[in-house]
Amino acid sequence: MQKIVIHEVGLRDGLQMEKQVVPTEQKLKWINRLIDAGVDIIQVGSFVHPEKVPQMADTDKLFAELTKNKTGKAILSGLVLNEKGLERGEKCGVEMYCLGVSASETHSMKNTGMSTTEATERIIATAKQAISAGKKVQVSVQSAFGCGFEGVVPHERVLGIVQKYLDAGLKNISLADTAGHATPDQIEKLYDAIYKLDSSVEAACHFHNTYGMGLANIYAAMKIGVQNYESSIAGLGGCPFTKVAAGNVCTEDFIHALQRMRFRKEINLLKLIDLAKEFAGFFNREMPGLVYKSGPIPMNQ
């Protein structure tokens, strides 16, 4: 198996559901600790309207501060929904742009105010613009495995969006299980179909643990050859525009499982666990993650 890449999305997807707005200085401390722990990519925030998602109002400032005195090797990513988001990102030093289209018409309208077709056209154009500026770009299909509003999302619809990405030369493609409906057999079938469209796809996945299937789905993705995984410290997160919002796959739980299988042993799990404990203290509640409560199994067992 090739190297598994960890894309930490807690500071974006993790915080966007929180009503308690986190001060910028606190976010900077958390991001620097994630960098120090050794994750590969950190999603700093999203370029959305501050009235819709107040937690993301300081995204521009965060990037400006982090890129001014960059430390560590982690790539700093940001989520953009349209051309205006890209313009903001260009001014503050985003290193990797994440752009997505929902395969669910209902979710697409609630999330972006656009139909799936319109969103696909705009996202592809924006992605090409970012690439022409020399930036790394990842495009995604949201609600790829089901929708809380519409139920089953046909694989053909997902593959149709993927094919449009490929036709545009976009090969870093993530599938997001926004509603948490995915099962391991669905994971294997859909990624296998994508690899048949183009074996050189740099596949990624973003699974929510709404119904407890997160790590099982990740293992299915690993078996089929997916290399890039998005997860959230302490298991925070959820899309505020889906019907039943719940957290992402928990980063420290995922790293614990990987290290039990002898992968990514260089990532400092104890630092991630300490950070998850700090999140629990900051928000004054128990987090969805498990390992920060139970403690890790020693590596020699």
How far is residue 139's CA from residue 141's CA, in Å, rounded to a whole number?
7
How far is residue 88's CA from residue 92's CA, in Å, rounded to a whole number?
7
Strand partners, 260: none
* First-last CA distance in the chain: 22
| Side-chain-side CA neighbours of residue 114 (13 Å) | 15
Which residues have CB under 8 Å from 25's CB, separation 6+?
A: none
- Calculate the CA 162 to chain-centre distance: 17
Tokens of 193: 């179909």
Neighbours of 23 (CB within 10 A): 9
Helices (H), the chain: 24-37, 59-68, 83-92, 105-112, 116-132, 155-167, 184-197, 214-224, 251-260, 269-283, 291-294
How far is residue 29's CA from residue 31's CA, in Å, rounded to a whole number?
6
Q: Which residues are catalytic?
A: 239
How far is residue 291's CA from residue 301's CA, in Å, rounded to a whole number?
16
